[in-house]
Structure 1
Amino acid sequence: MSALSVKTIGSMFIAGFIATLAFDLWGQVISPMLGFATLSPHGLAKSLLGKFGLPNGDFAGYFVHFYIVGLIGYPIGWLMIFKPVWQAVMKNRGGVFLQSAIYGFGLWVFAIGGITLIAGLPFFLGFAGITWVALVGHVLYGIVLVAVLNRIARS
């Protein structure tokens, strides 16, 4: 398990920031330009906050999506849960690209398959176009997150 040193936390924030930008660029710019659905991840966050009776305006939705999830939650999930479990079970087989893509897939299942239900939304958002754009976005997030973390570690 990675120790939460100042360097690790800084690396996590930088990688999470860049990965979240990649996710949002794909889901809010590239995907709609290609004729696919437009992601609105802050909408899921707003629904979840509202389900718990918390403030759920646009600011709160963006704050949860970008800061809590993108910069903190998902990077911690990689560093403290997925990566150590993968190393223990798979002995680092499969390469970092496969690991990061599977992590992104797991994020998609967690967010679009699980959080949507908790938020009172349809399971996997009814498997509409947004579901598949979100799949690509979450896998992209995982790949970018790990690539940036590895690049920082090498420097």
Structure 2
Amino acid sequence: MLVLIGGAAGTIAFDLFGRAISPILGFASLNPIGLARGFLGTLGLPNSGAYGHLMHLLFVGLLAYPIGWLFVARPVFSRVLVGLHWAFASAAYGVGLWVFAIGGIAWFAGNPAFLGFAPIAWVALVAHVLYSVVTAATINYIERLQHAR
């Protein structure tokens, strides 16, 4: 449940920033569904809008990325960079997610790596860092509530 709640909070922050706030501020609008569809299509899998949403929202946003934070990145950061505050560690994790998604997945799906460093790539960087910090903050908050009982 911790993974799903943290992932939901992070995904809401990611989509709210990347698809609403960024364009309102005059920056690019993210299209994570398009990227997910391109990835699925490259694998020869069904890649309709519904499958793109399923990939982005459920598999990536609610499961894979928060599981990566909770069971891989957070333990590694706590052992390698002892004393590093979770906010900095989660921001670094967000940069790693950006490298993976926009550097690797975008390229695999037939786009230039890092989307050619076009303005949308920088919006994606902010959105991935925001996602990871909100996810980590939500998980930390729930854990503190559980320990306070």
- What TM-score, normalized by structure 2, do the two folds share? 0.95
Contact 2:90–2:136 (Cα < 8 Å) also in 1: yes
TM-superposed deviation, 1:120: 1.5
Which 4+ stretches in 1 moved above 2 angstroms? none
Query: Which of 50, 66, 69 is the matching residue for 2:57?
Result: 66
Query: Percent identity over the alignment?
Result: 53
Deviations 1:93-112 (A, max 9, x none): 22111011111111101100
Distance in 2 of aligned mates of 1:119 and 1:73: 19
> Which runs of 5 or more residues in structure 2 are unaligned?
none
1:4-55 Cα shifts (integer Å, max 9, x gaps): xxxxxx0110110011000000000000000000000011100000001100
Q: Separation in 2 of the partners of 1:80 and 1:18?
A: 18
Can you give the 5+ residue segments of structure 1 that lack an aligned partner in the other structure? 1-9
Q: Is the 8 A contact 2:77 2:84 kept in 1?
A: no
Distance 2:77 2:26 in 1: 36
How many residues align? The count is 145
Q: What SS class does the counterpart of residue 55 from structure 1 fall into?
A: coil
Residue matched to 2:94: 104
Counterpart pick for 2:137 among 127, 130, 147: 147
Root-mean-square deviation (Å): 0.7
Q: Specify which of 68, 85, 105 is matched with residue 115 of structure 1.
A: 105
1:38-74 deviation digits (Å, cap 9, x = unpaired): 0000111000000011000100001100000000000
Q: d(CA) in 1 for partners of 2:80 and 2:90? A: 15
